[in-house]
Amino acid sequence: MHAEDEMHDEILPHLPDPDDGGRWRAPALREQRLYELMRRDEAGEERAHYEYLRLIAAEGLYRPVPLPAAEGSDGTAPLTVMTLQDGRRVVPAYTVGVLPRPHPEVVYEFTTLGGLDALWPDGVDILLVNGGTPCTKWFLADEDEREVWRDLHVELFQPDGMCDRVETRWTGAPDDEAVLRGLACGAHLCYANGDAWNTLDWHGAGYANEVEGLSRDWDIDGRDDWLDTQEQLLRCEVSAWQWHFVLDVRNLLIRESGSARIDPVAWRDHVETAVRAQADGPDAAGLDAATLDAHVRILRGLVGEVMRYEARFRADGLLPPDGYVRSVAAWDLGRASMVARRGRGARYATQAELRDAVERAGKGAQGVYGSWAEFSAGYVLGRCLHFDEEAFGDWYTTVLDAHRALMTHPESPWAAIPLH
């Protein structure tokens, strides 16, 4: 246990059948398809059982593991085995949409049919998928059946196969508009990872993957690291100050002139004037003349880089014909929304801290941008300045595709919740 958190009894999923005998409202499209396949199987349709197996082979499953066993195991902790009342021993696994809210003592690890086969314990004959829900299915797990699992894993599972899509929870989502707005700030990253954008019951890529990803991507290796990084992101202090500086100079010129058409030479000159004035001020860092000149050249060059990106953005429809990017705050706020969730998945953050962080991200976005389209353009520019180096390669084209999907998909977070 890495952070104080509330205890609760929701360790394994429990989603009852409809009281009136009607059709079940599934948490998401994946579970709806599994429910329909389960009903077709019960009706005697021969291929429904196999199609259910194919779907979970492609999308993967999550398995419960006691937190002490999961810590430091890199996702290879032994499978949890449950003994039913009739004496049968089963391994439980679940699709992501039915998972309960995170528990202080139990985590969920992502797995595949191939991964289950590799860890399968002796003396266990049944895989129970989505037990305790209306889309429950049982699968025999003898050697012949697990050979089918292995074949389907090779055929169907792709590590990135579920990425680049809008995923929305139909049930179990929070109804607080401020929370949803903060979650919507992470839309780009949810789209890239194929994660449901509107859930606080965060398991992400599974406990071990969340821990490893935070360490690899953010140098976050514990609760204190997470708290520090989360605060810096929410304050927009992780992205380069130079980006904010040159955009703020242009914003000032626009306010003073009343026109968004700022002469590039004037913009560069005002950037230089402002930098040199700071160097002569009481809070100056004491730069020598050569260092200051080099710094000025970098900032003047950054003005041109921003303008070239904005020209491409207009050509690609990411900005309107006369549009420009006022701020790259979205680059930090969008990542803050996701790091908050990943911190919860790694058990570095409490549920209350997650809610607070995403609400702050949403309020931050409201304070800077007039629309989600503006927010997205700011996010894209920040990502490009960070990674792309004016190559207009995958770092740009993939996030452009995400922008277009998020601006048009009927279940997009930006269609579901207004920025203002």
**Each residue's pLDDT tens digit, 124-164:** 999 999 999 999 999 999 999 999 999 999 999 999 989 99
pLDDT at 295: 85
Report the distance separating Cα 56 and Cα 157, nearest Å: 9
Indicate the average pLDDT of the chain.
Answer: 94
How does 139-161 read in b/e, with b if 16+ C-beta sit within 10 Å? Answer: bebeeeebebbeebbeebbeeee
Among 20-24, 101-105, 188-192, name the one with the lowest average pLDDT: 20-24
Tokens of 73: 């195991």
Burial class (CB in 10 A: 0-12, 13-18, 19+), 164: middle
pLDDT tens column, 307-333: 999 999 999 999 999 999 999 999 999
Closest listed residue to residue 309, CA positions, set 381, 376, 373: 381
pLDDT at 366 over 70: yes
Identify the helix (H) or strand (E) that includes residue 101. none
Residue percentage of the chain with pLDDT more than 90: 87
Q: Which residues of 93-114 are buried (b: 16+ CB within 10 A; e: fewer)?
A: bbbbbbbbebbbebbbbbbbbb
User: pLDDT value at position 196?
Assistant: 97
**Mean pLDDT on 379-400:** 96
CA-to-CA separations, 13 to 10, 136, 155, 354, in angstroms, rounded: 7, 11, 29, 21
pLDDT over 50 at 2, yes or no = no
408 Cβ neighbours under 8 A, 6+ residues apart: none
pLDDT (0 to 100) of residue 260 = 82
Are 243 and 384 a contacting pair, CB within 8 Å?
Answer: no
* Cβ-based neighbours of 162, under 8 Å, separated by 6 or more: 59, 60, 194
pLDDT confidence of residue 1: 42
Report how far apart, in Å, the C-alpha atoms of 171 and of each of 97, 201, 258, 317 are: 9, 12, 47, 33
Write out the DSSP string of 360-393: HHHHHHHHH-SSHHHHHHHHHHHHIIIIITT--S
β-strand pairing of 82-83 with 61-66: unpaired
The proportion of the chain whose per-residue pLDDT surpasses 70, expressed as a percent, equals: 97
Identify the residue with better confidence: 335 or 8: 335
pTM of the model: 0.94
Asked if 303 and 272 touch (Cβ cutoff 8 Å), the reply is no
Higher pLDDT, residue 293 or 380? 380
Strand blocks (E) in 226-320: none
Q: Is 6 helix (H, G, I), strand (E, B) or coil?
A: coil
